[in-house]
Chain A
Amino acid sequence: MNEPLPRLDAPGGTERRVPESRVPESRVPESRVPEHVTAFPAMLEDNIDDLYDSAPCGNVSTLLDGTIAKINATLLVWLGYTRDEVVGRKRFSDLLTVGGRLYHETHFAPLLQMHGEVNGVALELKRADGGRLPVLVTSVVKTGSDGQPMLIRSTIFDARERRAYEQELLHARRAADAERERLRGLIGGLQRSLLPDVVPTPPGMQSSAYYHMASADRIGGDFYDLFPLPSGRWGFFLGDVCGKGLAAAATTAAARHTLRTALAFNPDPAAALTYLNNVLYQDHDSPSHRHCTVILGTLTPAPGGCSITIAGGGHPAPMLLRTGGTLEPQPTTGGTIIGILPAPRIATRTFDMTPGDTLILYSDGLLEAHAGDRDERYGEEALQDFLVRLAPTSAAAAVTALTELLATLGRLDDDVALLALSLDDTAPTG
Chain B
Amino acid sequence: MRGMDVRARNHVTFTGREHGPVVMLAHGFGCDQNMWRLVTDTLGEQSRVLLFDHVGAGRSDLSAWDPDRYATLDGYARDVLEICRDLDLQDVIYVGHSVSAMMGVLAAAEAPELFAGLVLLAPSPSFIDDDGYRGGFSRDDIDELLESLDSNYLGWSAAMAPVIMGNPDRPELGEELTTSFCRTDPSIAKAFAKVTFLSDHRADLPKVRVPTLIIQSAVDAIAPPEVGEYVRDRIAGSRLVTLAATGHCPQLSAPQATAQAIAAFVAERR
Q: Could you tell me which A residues sit within 8 Å of B by CB distance?
A: 64-66, 91, 93-94, 97-99, 101-107, 109-111, 113-115, 118-122, 124
Contacts and interface: CB of A to CB of B under 8 A. Distances in A.
A91 B221 contact: yes
Contact of A105 (B141, B153, B221): B221
Contact of A109 (B137, B156, B181, B249): B249
B95 to A, nearest CB: 17
Contacts of B148: 97-99, 124
B179 interface: no
Contacts of B112: none
Given A109-B253, A122-B157, A101 B30 contact: no
Given A66-B246, A66-B247, A106-B30, 17 more contacts: A65-B247, A91-B219, A93-B221, A94-B221, A99-B145, A99-B149, A99-B153, A99-B154, A101-B222, A102-B145, A107-B158, A109-B247, A111-B182, A113-B252, A114-B252, A118-B165, A119-B165
A130 to B, nearest CB: 11
A99 B144 contact: yes
B249 A106 contact: yes
A103 B144 contact: no
A65 B246 contact: yes
Interface string B176-192: 01000110000000000
A110 B173 contact: no
Contacts of A65: 219, 246-247
B137 A106 contact: no
Contact of B157 (A98, A101, A115, A121): A121
A106 B144 contact: no
Interface string B143-180: 01100110001101110110011000000010001000
Closest 9 CB pairs of A and B: A106-B30, A99-B148, A65-B246, A105-B248, A93-B221, A98-B141, A98-B145, A99-B145, A113-B252
A114 B172 CA distance: 13
A119 B164 CA distance: 6
B121 interface: no
10 contacts: A65-B219, A97-B144, A102-B222, A103-B157, A105-B249, A106-B249, A110-B31, A111-B182, A119-B165, A122-B156
A382 B39 CA distance: 60
Contacts, number: 93
Contact of A107 (B30, B141, B153): B30
A377 to B, nearest CB: 34
B137 A98 contact: yes
A194 to B, nearest CB: 39
Given A102-B145, A109-B253, A110-B182, A66 B219 contact: yes
Nearest to A134: B153
Nearest to B137: A98
B142 interface: yes
B29 interface: yes
Contacts of B252: 109-110, 113-114
Contacts of A106: 28-31, 182, 248-249
A97, A110, A119: which has the most chain B beta carbons within 10 Å?
A: A110
B241 to A, nearest CB: 18
Contacts of A103: 154, 157
A106, A111, A115, A122: which has the most chain B beta carbons within 10 Å?
A: A106
B221 A66 contact: yes
B83 interface: no
A366 to B, nearest CB: 32
B35 interface: yes
A429 B145 CA distance: 75
A364 to B, nearest CB: 38
A64 B144 contact: no
Contacts of B141: 98
Nearest to B138: A98
Nearest to B176: A114
A85 to B, nearest CB: 18
A307 to B, nearest CB: 55
A110 B182 CA distance: 9
A118 B167 CA distance: 11
Contacts of B247: 65-66, 105, 109
A99 B221 CA distance: 12
Contacts of A121: 157, 164
